Chains A and B, each alone.
Chain A
Amino acid sequence: MSPVLAVAGYSLDYVTREGTQRVLEDVTLAIAPGEVLGLVGESGSGKTSLAWAIMRHLPGNAREAAGGSLRLGDVDLRAASARALETIRGRRMSMVFQDPSTALNPTLSIGRQVSEVLVRHRGLSEKDAWQAATEALAHVDLRDPAGLMKRYPHEASGGEKQRVVIATAFACRPELIVFDEPTTALDVITGARILELFGRLRAETGVSALYISHDLALVARVADRVAILEKGRIVEEAPADRIFTAPAHPYTRRLVAAVPRPEQRLVTDQVRPRELLRGEGIAVRYRRKRLFRLAPPPATDHVTLDIRRGEILGIVGESGSGKSSIARALTGLADYEGDIALDGRRIGSVKDMDRTYRKAVQIVFQHPDSSLNPRQTVGDILARPLRLYGGDVATIPALLDEVRLPAAYARRYPHQLSGGEKQRVAIARAFAAKPDLVICDEITAPLDVSVQASVVELLLRLREANGTAYLFITHDLNLVRQVAHRIVVMRQGEIVDLLDMEMLRRGEIHSYTRELIAASPTPVG
């Protein structure tokens, strides 16, 4: 059978001020009818550029090399006129985006945005299209589709919005759908439900799909075949069930090795139950009660937890579960109710957090881009905690060496560093104070898997050398199962589960934890 999508010898350049940059090099791939091809690559590998090339929506500075071809069935997409493409897009091929909160127009009703495709491509009247769109929403398991049609995007949850986007993509029964990281912006459980939905729609419609993601474990579950993209080249293409068991290319092997496997513990020592820090009944509220308004429910509801000396305590939970609010309370970035005790010393409010406390408790934030001052050199950034907490500025080269960065980086500015390097600087800044506890708030989330693995390895080495305890906040259950001594599971501002590895092995876990584990794709094979 002839393929639905055939890409052959396709190369693409971007013209930038620094010169021409090749983003795709001689890419060849084909997707058979009903097949799902996974495309895996790290950031900058060109995977999204390939999606734009297929959808014929390249940025103005893109230059396609002569010779390569993109075919959708019988159509030569590169030769198609703008007018012809208008009749192909949305009807014969459509796209599902990464972030459903930006993919829907905030000023148009959801119904309008679904039905306009039907008016455009199936020639329905506004009234019939509205009816058909309502049915399409019902078909993706949205509750109260008729009501949802009249709502605006901000009145729907992230999962609902992604279902709306998927319903729109499927509305005209296209031959091909390009998925660009459709679950990355969603919570684990919501994402898992979206994948279930895709599986069902796929079986019903026999659609072909190009499924783009950075998450190898997830793609291996969704796709029939997986193509690995490295710096614009496809280095390996293999059946999905073979990619973990028999990776052929060295790059694929590196990727596979970097995927966290929960059964492989990276931390083997035990910590003695010596309490370092205790939070008792911590509640954080972001808006105060006002004359005409009741106080909102707290972001965390009287949470009690303790961290032992040298321990790695994992906190997992979905977005909005209150895990970052705990970090903000413990560092004094948010006002809190309740008590914090450091080494038995009571800290009743942010005002009590003196230099000793701040030296002992340091934090590394999720986005190094916004947590490092862009106008300071790395040296300036590290000098400040050293001066504040009685360190020696002369130790900056040693500090950089500890996080495996060259001493010459002290003169660089953050924008001259890669994402992983910036996060290392942020870690060095936290360690400059010689803390007892470092709070890691989703610090691996914005990083590629291979970089993530090296940052985790660095953290573990630093802990070994300094005996530092970590409060490791993450949504990645597989990762936290590799490193944490104990895991706190949060939902809607409350702790629902506190478990150690022994309990996890025996399966003595809360039903919600079980649900989270089931929703986190692990490497197959």
Chain B
Amino acid sequence: MTLAWLLRRFFTVLYTLLVVSVLVFGLTQILPADAAVTLLGENATPAALAAVRERLGLGDPAWLQYWHWLSALLQGDFGTSMRTSQPVGPAMFTALGRSLLLGGASLVVMLVIAVPLGMWAALRRGKAADLMSSLVSYLGVSFPEFVTATLLLIVVADYFQLLPATGYVPPGEDLADSIRHLILPVVTVSLIMVAHVSRMVRSETIDVLNSDYIRAARLKGLPPRTVLLRHVLRNALLPTVTIVALDVGYLLGGIIVVEEIFAIPGIGRALIVAITSRDLPSIQAGAVIMAATYAVANTLADIAYVLIDRRIRYD
């Protein structure tokens, strides 16, 4: 991994985001929403509407509007919300922080469960434990998160009243309560990924276990534990990193649904609110921020990949 590669990678991310910005701007242009009507309401006078359009530059050609939007964006100005009249940027980044907390916690929980589960199933291949983990995985994959979330709400939050059903508490305010509020959303988001990733870890582990170098390690007289931790684990995890990076895309989609169900004021929920209220600057900002998150996550995964697999060299 060279500096040149990192630079090139950085520019690729920028280029991707530029394309995304064009697409996002284009989509908001063809959205059936008139910003002036959204701002002033259905009953505004034509004169007032015209004045607002003039002030917002809505009469300008699309490329000029795009240019104004992009140059402001590059200076960190995401525009002003039409719904709240507050700057969009700070609100969106606060929401993103909450989503990252939910997403990050889900990723960690997923890895902690999925990797040992997959390896355990591979070692007990064809035995009861393997079948159990397969069953759990298939169940996990076949439940979409809105079904899982609803079931969890009904059973855990409503019937047994073990955990709060909805809402968000910042960790800085009351850590214990914050965690209690996060448990159900995190379980919902990570369940499908656990199913997915543990299958992947299982099949990779089986391949690695059948490889010559594992045979060689055993024939060196190394105890099974050493073979597993030193020789198998790292090789079995390599492809998993790629899958996890791809799953970040799913994660972003899943979070939108989960935030809505559990009433967590994250970026997904902010985006839904923005779309339903036709708040164009918020929609644009939310979409661009999500795309940037995805691009950055993928770059981090690529870097992680080089760090654990010495055969891969980017130049």
**A154 to B220, Cβ gap below 8 A?**
no
| A97-B212, A99-B212 known; A107+B219 contact, CB < 8 A | no
Is A105 located at the chain interface by the 8 A CB criterion?
Answer: yes
**B235 to A107, Cβ gap below 8 A?**
yes
Chain B residues contacting A108 (CB-CB under 8 Å) are 230-231, 234
| A106-B235, A107-B235, A154-B311 known; A120+B221 contact, CB < 8 A | yes
**A121 to B211, Cβ gap below 8 A?**
no
Considering the chains assembled together, what is the distance between the CA atoms of A191 and B216 in angstroms?
20
**A91 to B310, Cβ gap below 8 A?**
no
Is A117 located at the chain interface by the 8 A CB criterion?
Answer: yes
Chain A residues contacting B234 (CB-CB under 8 Å) are 107-108
**B212 to A103, Cβ gap below 8 A?**
yes
Query: Quick one: which of B221, B308, B310, B311 has the most chain A CB within 10 A?
Result: B221
**A107 to B211, Cβ gap below 8 A?**
no
Considering the chains assembled together, what is the distance between the CA atoms of A103 and B215 in angstroms?
8
Nearest B residue (CB) for A155 = B310
**A107 to B310, Cβ gap below 8 A?**
yes
Is A21 located at the chain interface by the 8 A CB criterion?
Answer: no
Nearest B residue (CB) for A91 = B221
Considering the chains assembled together, what is the distance between the CA atoms of A90 and B308 in angstroms?
27
**A89 to B213, Cβ gap below 8 A?**
no
**B220 to A168, Cβ gap below 8 A?**
yes
- Interface size of A in residues (CB-CB distance below 8 Å): 28
Chain B residues contacting A86 (CB-CB under 8 Å) are 221-223
Chain B residues contacting A55 (CB-CB under 8 Å) are 219
Chain B residues contacting A363 (CB-CB under 8 Å) are none
Considering the chains assembled together, what is the distance between the CA atoms of A120 and B222 in angstroms?
7
Chain A residues contacting B231 (CB-CB under 8 Å) are 105, 108
Nearest A residue (CB) for B214 = A105
Contact residues, A168-196 vs B (CB, 8 A): 168
- Per-residue 0/1 for B206-249: is the Cβ within 8 Å of any A Cβ (1 yes, 0 no)? 00000111111111111100100011001100100000000000
**B310 to A154, Cβ gap below 8 A?**
yes
Contact with B213, one of A87, A105, A121 (Cβ below 8 angstroms): A105
Chain A residues contacting B223 (CB-CB under 8 Å) are 86
Closest Cβ–Cβ distance, residue A166 to chain B (whole Å): 12
- Per-residue 0/1 for A154-172: is the Cβ within 8 Å of any B Cβ (1 yes, 0 no)? 1000000000010010000
| A107-B234, A108-B231, A152-B310 known; A102+B213 contact, CB < 8 A | yes
Considering the chains assembled together, what is the distance between the CA atoms of A165 and B213 in angstroms?
11
Nearest B residue (CB) for A88 = B221
* A-B Cβ contacts below 8 A, count: 73
Contact with A94, one of B217, B219, B226, B309 (Cβ below 8 angstroms): B219
Contact residues, A97-116 vs B (CB, 8 A): 97, 99, 102-108, 116
**B213 to A94, Cβ gap below 8 A?**
no
Contact with A89, one of B219, B230, B309 (Cβ below 8 angstroms): B219
Contact with A57, one of B219, B308, B309 (Cβ below 8 angstroms): B219
Contact residues, B293-314 vs A (CB, 8 A): 308-311
Chain B residues contacting A57 (CB-CB under 8 Å) are 215, 218-219
Contact residues, A58-111 vs B (CB, 8 A): 85-91, 94-95, 97, 99, 102-108
Considering the chains assembled together, what is the distance between the CA atoms of A309 and B309 in angstroms?
52
Interface residue SS majority, chain B: helix
Closest Cβ–Cβ distance, residue B78 to chain A (whole Å): 35
Closest Cβ–Cβ distance, residue B243 to chain A (whole Å): 18
**A102 to B211, Cβ gap below 8 A?**
yes
Size class of B's contact patch? 20 to 34
**A105 to B221, Cβ gap below 8 A?**
no
Considering the chains assembled together, what is the distance between the CA atoms of A87 and B223 in angstroms?
9
Chain A residues contacting B310 (CB-CB under 8 Å) are 106-107, 152, 154
Closest Cβ–Cβ distance, residue A147 to chain B (whole Å): 15
| A57-B215, A95-B216, A97-B212 known; A107+B309 contact, CB < 8 A | yes
Closest Cβ–Cβ distance, residue A285 to chain B (whole Å): 19
**A105 to B217, Cβ gap below 8 A?**
yes
Closest Cβ–Cβ distance, residue B218 to chain A (whole Å): 6
**A89 to B235, Cβ gap below 8 A?**
no
Contact residues, A106-139 vs B (CB, 8 A): 106-108, 116-117, 120-121
Closest Cβ–Cβ distance, residue A358 to chain B (whole Å): 39
Nearest A residue (CB) for B311 = A154
Chain A residues contacting B308 (CB-CB under 8 Å) are 107
**B215 to A117, Cβ gap below 8 A?**
no
Considering the chains assembled together, what is the distance between the CA atoms of A94 and B219 in angstroms?
7
- Per-residue 0/1 for A413-445: is the Cβ within 8 Å of any B Cβ (1 yes, 0 no)? 000000000000000000000000000000000
Contact with A104, one of B216, B219, B230, B238 (Cβ below 8 angstroms): B216
Closest Cβ–Cβ distance, residue A50 to chain B (whole Å): 15
Chain B residues contacting A121 (CB-CB under 8 Å) are 221
Considering the chains assembled together, what is the distance between the CA atoms of A168 and B234 in angstroms?
22
- Per-residue 0/1 for A358-376: is the Cβ within 8 Å of any B Cβ (1 yes, 0 no)? 0000000000000000000
Considering the chains assembled together, what is the distance between the CA atoms of A381 and B102 in angstroms?
57
Chain A residues contacting B235 (CB-CB under 8 Å) are 105-107
| A105-B231, A105-B235, A152-B311 known; A95+B219 contact, CB < 8 A | yes
Closest Cβ–Cβ distance, residue B212 to chain A (whole Å): 4
Chain B residues contacting A102 (CB-CB under 8 Å) are 211-213
Chain A residues contacting B220 (CB-CB under 8 Å) are 89-90, 94, 116-117, 120, 168
Nearest B residue (CB) for A112 = B230
Nearest B residue (CB) for A92 = B221
Chain B residues contacting A154 (CB-CB under 8 Å) are 310-311
Chain B residues contacting A91 (CB-CB under 8 Å) are 221
Query: Quick one: which of B211, B218, B235, B238 has the most chain A CB within 10 A?
Result: B218
Chain A residues contacting B230 (CB-CB under 8 Å) are 108, 116
Closest Cβ–Cβ distance, residue B241 to chain A (whole Å): 12
Contact with A90, one of B212, B215, B219, B311 (Cβ below 8 angstroms): B219
Query: Quick one: which of B216, B217, B231, B308 has the most chain A CB within 10 A?
Result: B216
Chain B residues contacting A168 (CB-CB under 8 Å) are 220
Some 9 contacts from A to B, beta carbons below 8 A apart, are A57-B219, A86-B223, A88-B221, A95-B219, A103-B216, A104-B213, A116-B226, A116-B230, A165-B216
- Other 14 A-B pairs with CB < 8 A, given A105-B213, A121-B221: A87-B221, A89-B220, A90-B220, A94-B220, A97-B216, A103-B212, A104-B213, A105-B231, A106-B213, A107-B234, A107-B310, A108-B234, A120-B220, A154-B311
* Residues of chain B at the chain A interface (Cβ within 8 Å): 211-223, 226, 230-231, 234-235, 238, 308-311
